[in-house]
Structure 1
Amino acid sequence: MIRTVLQFIVSAVCLLLSISVLGQTVMDTTVVRDSRYLEDQFYIGVGYNVLLDTPDEVGQQNLSYNLQAGFIKDIPLNLRRNFGVGLGLGYAVNSYYSNLVSSEESNTIVYQVMEGSNFNRSKFETHSIELPLELRWRTSTAEEYKFWRIYAGAKLGYVFSGRSKLVTDDGNDSFSNNDIEKLQYGLMLNFGYNTWNIHAYYALNPLLKEDSTLNGNPIDFRVLRIGLIFYIL
């Protein structure tokens, strides 16, 4: 028993001495931590969707919202780890409210503008799997958890569920809208300090397919999204 205790003490002393020598001759503990820490690996966001390039008679109504959440692999590119890239996987739900109403007629989708007291609301709703790619710059260190960040990049989304819904005083009508583009892509910018960060996204392709028309004219509106994004870990 005594021999075991003595062996433990000797081993502990040798270990402490080796750590001390290593700390004096190689690098301090801050650099060791700097070589490992990661930032902003999970995100959750909320935003408002603005429809751009809409026909003159089409107007937005109600709150066209965005909800998003996901994981981003943080890949630092320098020793300080304040510059790098991020590649992620996420989920988003978007609603777009307007007076543009879609309906199914003879296996085709027809669009018209609806007004009147009987009309309540009309919306497009999408559920998407998203792949964000970011170029990341921040002022973080291994000990500092409040810092500035600027993340710019692009996002590719796959719409696995797209629906149109009409609500009137007489009832509801909802159906799967195949005119909604399956692939959505655009540019994004996230910037802010500590908890509060602004999220902006601009779609590079229209929300609806090219053959979608209103009164014979193409419906090629795009989405501008402004909101807040929060990062965890």
Structure 2
Amino acid sequence: MKKILFAVCAIFLSGVVFAQVDTSKGPALVVSEPAKKPKKKYNLTNRANDHFLLQLGYTNWLDAPDSIQTKGLSRSINAYFMMDFPFKSSQQLSAAVGLGVGSDHVFLDNAFADVKGRTNTMRFNGLDTTIDVKKTKVTTAYAELPVELRYTANPEASDKSFKIAVGVKVGTMLKGGTRSRLTEPTTTSYLLKESSKNYFNTTRIVGTARVGVGHFTVFGTYQFTSLLKAGVGPQLKPFTIGLTFGGL
């Protein structure tokens, strides 16, 4: 029994000795995490970040049947006032919301859009064959609420910085109509203006995107809702590509 107690004590003492030898080599190595780099703070007191947008672009209709042909420089003209709200977590990002007016002007090739027709569907060739249609312009105008998520590389000098924005705008129709140059066999050519929202989808939802540097950005839009109401004509989807001037 004494031999067993002696062996246990010897093992215990040897462990203490080795422990003292290990710790004598120096203090334990402590690994610390690298310090996080503080986020840059920008002075946004007097910044300008596209509070006013003016857009001019080329417009056309997707999903148009072969019987509807466009021509010339169909265009879109838009103007918006927007308020911009930077994110506290990242000042290069911001959200913007605004109000403005968007208008599309699409020219038809030898076709007449009968916006004041009395039929259940909108006719694009409803005139008498003896009447020559020189040109027809279909015009739509909307009051719109645009919303954007924006990124600006240098928020302190956004008028010189790279920027990109994606968003959506919701609009309600203010006016829909046509302006046509017609010629009849017994008369000279004349201008016919007609206005009616009867066939048009008066609410539109449009996806938007912009990218550029400083005051100028290239923009593109695609309308998710159709131009015409369901069942009254082809489900035309307007799209636009153009240039944006941003200021203030």
TM range, smaller chain: 0.7 to 0.9
* Distance of 2:56 and 2:175 partners within structure 1: 19
Tell me whether 1:118 sits opposite 2:132 in the alignment.
yes
Unaligned ranges ≥5, structure 1 = 1-29, 214-218
* Distance of 2:56 and 2:66 partners within structure 1: 28
Q: CA deviation at 1:84?
A: 1.3
Q: Where does residue 56 of structure 1 map in the other structure?
A: 66
**1:132–1:156 contact (8 Å) kept in structure 2:** yes
Deviates more, 1:196-205 or 1:177-186: 177-186
Q: CA deviation at 1:130?
A: 0.8
Map 1:179-194 to 2 at 5 A.
Answer: 179-194=199-214
Amino acid at match of 1:157: G
Q: 1:51-104: per-residue Cα shift (whole Å, max 9, x none)?
A: 110011211112211111111110101365210111010112211111342234
**1:34–1:79 contact (8 Å) kept in structure 2:** no
Map 1:14-53 to 2 at 5 A.
Answer: 31=41, 33-34=43-44, 37=47, 39-53=49-63
Unaligned ranges ≥5, structure 2 = 1-39, 184-188
Q: 1:8-49: per-residue Cα shift (whole Å, max 9, x none)?
A: xxxxxxxxxxxxxxxxxxxxxx95733674511111110110
Change (3 A) 1:173 1:135: same
**2:146–2:168 contact (8 Å) kept in structure 1:** yes
Change (3 A) 1:199 1:119: same
Give SS of 2:164's match.
strand
Deviates more, 1:39-48 or 1:93-102: 93-102
Q: Where does residue 163 of structure 1 map in the other structure?
A: 177
Q: Where does residue 85 of structure 1 map in the other structure?
A: 95
Q: Where does residue 199 of structure 1 map in the other structure?
A: 219
The equivalent position to 1:95 in structure 2, one of 89, 105, 130, is 105
* Distance of 1:105 and 1:156 partners within structure 2: 27
Give SS of 1:191's match.
strand
Give SS of 2:177's match.
strand
Change (3 A) 1:68 1:105: closer
Percent of pairs identical after alignment? Answer: 22
Q: TM-score if structure 1 supplies the norm length? A: 0.76
Bigger strand fraction? 1
Change (3 A) 1:60 1:105: closer
**1:34–1:141 contact (8 Å) kept in structure 2:** yes
The equivalent position to 1:174 in structure 2, one of 184, 193, 200, is 193
**2:42–2:91 contact (8 Å) kept in structure 1:** no
* Distance of 1:34 and 1:79 partners within structure 2: 14
Deviates more, 1:105-114 or 1:173-182: 105-114
Tell me whether 1:148 sits opposite 2:159 in the alignment.
no
Change (3 A) 1:64 1:143: closer
RMSD in angstroms over aligned alpha carbons? 2.5
Amino acid at match of 2:195: S
**2:53–2:247 contact (8 Å) kept in structure 1:** yes
* Distance of 2:124 and 2:156 partners within structure 1: 56
Change (3 A) 1:143 1:133: closer
Give SS of 2:43's match.
helix
Q: TM-score if structure 2 supplies the norm length? A: 0.72
Q: Where does residue 241 of structure 2 map in the other structure?
A: 226
Q: Where does residue 6 of structure 2 map in the other structure?
A: none
